[in-house]
Structures are given as structure tokens and as C-alpha cells.
């Protein structure tokens, strides 16, 4: 019965996504013009503050979870330890120790209209994320380069038939429900600020969209991720406390 309900829910969601595309204020496309989202400039203007806090985070790299440690569904696209995620926020969940380690970043994230998820996405060298699609079209994804190998063409993302590379301090907005994949062909790590935010839609679909996003936030999938993140938060707190005692 549970599988049947999930199948029905997925089918209905796919039908609703057609309305999302039709009522999208900025159209239905792979990449978007970042000037349509005024808050992007705020992040770009303050990217060095975020980068400075990221440098502190990377001191505890071994205590940062792999993406599949938080979201088990990611096991279909990654199974090694070359893609780590440092969550600040996730569908109503705030990672207290992570936000305390990155207070300026947390403050900037809270300024983003409709922010649902915010994290650092850390991709090791020679890591490929295979083709996949995001779970729901009612949110858009933002990336901003924080650490980008040189030349940056060694790191790229394909969304649909379009390709882009990251630049440090510059953002991109895309629809992750288009088939997409990522490459880091360099010997260095690539780190981006990764944010999901509510897609701007016209009435009345914008109201329905917020309701669906609410349901996603209370779904077993998201709740399991929150529990997993809490366990890793405790591990990180212990690592930070241990490091501070050694310095005292």
C-alpha cells in the first residue's frame, strides 16, 4: 500500500510540475539570469565572508558527512567519500553547531527569500556526479563558487543541453529537475554554496506550491535527513570542543 501511495503521489506531482512550468514568473529553462534575483548580488558582494568561514569548516573535513550519510537516496548517484555536505539549513531544520561555526554565512542565508536548503557542497578532485534530476520543480537551485580549481573548465555542470563552469564569488541559478550532471576533473577540491529556494510563481499556483513544499518538509524522507544531520552535528560539536581544549 505504501508503495502504491508513493506511486500515486509521484504521478500527481509530475502533473503539478507542468503547472509550475506554465506559471513560472521567469520561465521554464535550464539556467536563469541571476539579475532576476536581487539577493544574488548581496551574496556575491559578501562571498569572501562566506569563504573565510568555509576555511574554518574545512579544518574539520573528516567530521563532515558524505551526502549519502544525510540523504540515503543519494546512494544512487554517489557511494564514495568524495562528495561532502556541510548543512546550515534544510526544510525548517537549522544546524545549530554549523551555524555557530558560520554565523555570517547563516545570517546571509536567512536573507534569501524562500530559502529552503543551504549548505556547502564539497566535491573532491576526479569526482563525477552522474546524470540525475532533482525531486521537485517548485524550487530552484543556486550555486556560488567558493573554491574553484584552475582552470575552472576542469569543473563544470551540465543542465539539460547547457553547460556552465563555476567562478569564485559568482552565482548561478538553475532548474535541477532538468537532467544534469557534474564533473570535477581537476586534482583539487571544488566547493560551492548550494541553496534551494522557492520558485517565483504566479497566483494561484504559488499558493499550492508552498503547500506542497510544506508537505515535503514533513515527509519521512526529509525527517530522516534531519535525524541523520543531528547525529553528525553531535560529532562535529565534539570535534570542535576537543580542538578548543587542545588550544587552551
* Residues contacting residue 14 through CB under 8 Å, at least 6 positions apart: none
Residues 236/60, Cβ–Cβ less than 8 Å: yes
Q: How many domains does the chain have?
A: 1
Residue 1 confidence class, pLDDT cut points 50, 70, 90: very low
Q: For 102-112, what is the mean pLDDT?
A: 98
Residue 5 confidence class, pLDDT cut points 50, 70, 90: very low
Range of the domain at 13: 2-247
Please state, in angstroms and rounded to a whole number, the distance separating the CA atoms of residues 123 and 154.
12
Please state, in angstroms and rounded to a whole number, the distance separating the CA atoms of residues 117 and 79.
22
Q: For 155-164, what is the mean pLDDT?
A: 98
Q: pLDDT tens for residues 56-80?
A: 999 999 999 999 999 988 999 999 9
Residue 4 confidence class, pLDDT cut points 50, 70, 90: low
Higher pLDDT pick, 181 / 244 = 181
CATH of the domain at 42: 2.60.120.330
DSSP letters, the chain, are: -HHHHHHHHHHHHHHHHHHHHHHBTT-S-SEE-GGGSTHHHHHHHTHHHHHHHHHHHGGGGGGSPBHHHH-GGGGGT--SSSEEEEEEEETTEE-HHHHHHSHHHHHHHTTSTTEEEEEEEEE-TTEEEEEE--S-TTEEEEEEEEE--SSGGGEEEEETTEEE---BT-EEEE-TTS-EEEEE-SSS-EEEEEEEEEPPB-TTHHHHHHHHHHHHHTSHHHHHHHHHHHHHHHHHHHHHHHHHHHH-
Q: pLDDT tens for residues 7-42?
A: 556 667 878 999 999 999 999 999 999 999 999 999
Amino acid at each position: 500500500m505504501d508503495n502504491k501511495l508513493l506511486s500515486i503521489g509521484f504521478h500527481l506531482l509530475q502533473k503539478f510540475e507542468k503547472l509550475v512550468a506554465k506559471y513560472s514568473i521567469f520561465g521554464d529553462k535550464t539556467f536563469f539570469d541571476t539579475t532576476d534575483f536581487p539577493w544574488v548580488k548581496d551574496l556575491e558582494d559578501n562571498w569572501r565572508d562566506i569563504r573565510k568561514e568555509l576555511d574554518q569548516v574545512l579544518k574539520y573535513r573528516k567530521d563532515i558527512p558524505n551526502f549519502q550519510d544525510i540523504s540515503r537516496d543519494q546512494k544512487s548517484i554517489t557511494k564514495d567519500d568524495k562528495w561532502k555536505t556541510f548543512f546550515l539549513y534544510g526544510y525548517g531544520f537549522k544546524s545549530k553547531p554549523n551555524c555557530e561555526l558560520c554565523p555570517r554565512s547563516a545570517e546571509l542565508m536567512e536573507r534569501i527569500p524562500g530559502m529552503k536548503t543551504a549548505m556547502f557542497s564539497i566535491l573532491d578532485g576526479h569526482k563525477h556526479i552522474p546524470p540525475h534530476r532533482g525531486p521537485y520543480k517548485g524550487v530552484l537551485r543556486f550555486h556560488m563558487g567558493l573554491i574553484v580549481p584552475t582552470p575552472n573548465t576542469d569543473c563544470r555542470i551540465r543542465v539539460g543541453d547547457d553547460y556552465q563552469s563555476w567562478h569564485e564569488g559568482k552565482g548561478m541559478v538553475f532548474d535541477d529537475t532538468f537532467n544534469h550532471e557534474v564533473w570535477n576533473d581537476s586534482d583539487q577540491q571544488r566547493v560551492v554554496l548550494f541553496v534551494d529556494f522557492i520558485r517565483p510563481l504566479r497566483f494561484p499556483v504559488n499558493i499550492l506550491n508552498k503547500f506542497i513544499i510544506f508537505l515535503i518538509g514533513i515527509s519521512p524522507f526529509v525527517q530522516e535527513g534531519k535525524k541523520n544531520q543531528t547525529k553528525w552535528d553531535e560529532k562535529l560539536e565534539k570535534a570542535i570542543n576537543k580542538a578548543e581544549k587542545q588550544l587552551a
